[in-house]
C-alpha cells in the first residue's frame, strides 16, 4: 500500500508494508500478528506500536501486557506491579501519564526503567538522560510504553512502528497520517485492506465535528 494514499512525503519513511490478514480475522488475530512482528525485530530495536483502541486484545492495555510477558521470556528479571496493574521490569519502555513540572516531565514523556526496588516499591527510570525515582505513590503516573494510542504517540518517534488496525470509528486519514509519521525508517500496518480503505475514505475528524454543528 503506497504512502501517497495518505499524502505522506516519500522521504520521511523509507518503506511502508501492509501485513494483510484473512477477511475473517478479528482483533485476536491482529494482536497475535503484532506480537509476532515485534518478536521478529528482536531485542534492542527501537520499536513503537500504535493502536486506535485502549481495551481488548489489540488495545493498549492488552498489547502492553503481552509484550511485557514476551520481554520477560527473553530475560530473567523481577517485576513490580503498579497501582494501575502495569508490571514494570528493568529495560522496559514507559510513558509518563500527566504533566509534572517539578520533574520536568509531561503527559506523553517517554522513558526507560533502569531498576526496581520491590521492598520499597520504587521504580527508577531515565527520561532524556535524567534519572527519576518514582515511589509507590508516584507509580500511578507511569504506564508501560510498548503500545500507545495515536493521541499519546504524538510528539514521539521510533525507528520502527507497527500499526495495529482493528476496525474503529477513530480511524480516518488524519489518524493514519499521525500513526505512520511516528516512524523514522519503517512502518508495518497489521489488519485488513478493507479497514484501511474505509479509513482513507472517511472525512477528517475536524470535518466531522464541523458537520455535527447546528444553528438554532
- The pTM is what? 0.86
Q: Is residue 215 included in any domain, yes or no?
A: no
Check which CATH number belongs to the domain holding 29 and give it.
3.40.50
Provide the angle, in degrees to the nearest 10, between the axes of the packed helices 193-201 and 173-180: 120
Q: Is residue 116 included in any domain, yes or no?
A: yes
Contact 69, 121 (CB under 8 A): no
Per-residue pLDDT of the chain (216 residues; tens, 9 = 90+): 433 444 444 444 457 888 888 776 789 999 999 999 999 998 778 999 999 999 999 999 999 999 999 999 988 889 999 998 999 999 999 999 999 999 999 999 999 999 999 999 999 999 999 999 999 999 999 999 999 999 999 989 999 999 999 999 999 999 999 999 999 999 999 999 899 889 998 887 655 544 443 333
183 lies in which domain range?
3-202
Number of domains in the chain: 1
Q: Is residue 214 included in any domain, yes or no?
A: no
Q: Is residue 15 included in any domain, yes or no?
A: yes
Q: Is residue 211 included in any domain, yes or no?
A: no
Amino acid at each position: 500500500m503506497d504512502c501517497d494514499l495518505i499524502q505522506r512525503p516519500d522521504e520521511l519513511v523509507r518503506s511502508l508494508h501492509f501485513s494483510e490478514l484473512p477477511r475473517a480475522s478479528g482483533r485476536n488475530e491482529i494482536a497475535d500478528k503484532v506480537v509476532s512482528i515485534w518478536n521478529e525485530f528482536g531485542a534492542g530495536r527501537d520499536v513503537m506500536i500504535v493502536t486506535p483502541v485502549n481495551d481488548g486484545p489489540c488495545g493498549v492495555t492488552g498489547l502492553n501486557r503481552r509484550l511485557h510477558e514476551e520481554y520477560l521470556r527473553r530475560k530473567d528479571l523481577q517485576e513490580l506491579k503498579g497501582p494501575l496493574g502495569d508490571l514494570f521490569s528493568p529495560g522496559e519502555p514507559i510513558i509518563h501519564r500527566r504533566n509534572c513540572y517539578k520533574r520536568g516531565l509531561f503527559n506523553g514523556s517517554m522513558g526507560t526503567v533502569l531498576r526496581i526496588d520491590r521492598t520499597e516499591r520504587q521504580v527508577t527510570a531515565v527520561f532524556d538522560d535524567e534519572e527519576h525515582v518514582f515511589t509507590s505513590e508516584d507509580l500511578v503516573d507511569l504506564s508501560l510504553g510498548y503500545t500507545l494510542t495515536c493521541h499519546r504517540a504524538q510528539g514521539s518517534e521510533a525507528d520502527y512502528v507497527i500499526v495495529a488496525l482493528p476496525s474503529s470509528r477513530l480511524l480516518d486519514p488524519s489518524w493514519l497520517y499521525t500513526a505512520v509519521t511516528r516512524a523514522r525508517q519503517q512502518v508495518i500496518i497489521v489488519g485488513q485492506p478493507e479497514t484501511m480503505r474505509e479509513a482513507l475514505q472517511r472525512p477528517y475528524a475536524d470535518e466531522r465535528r464541523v458537520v455535527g454543528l447546528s444553528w438554532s
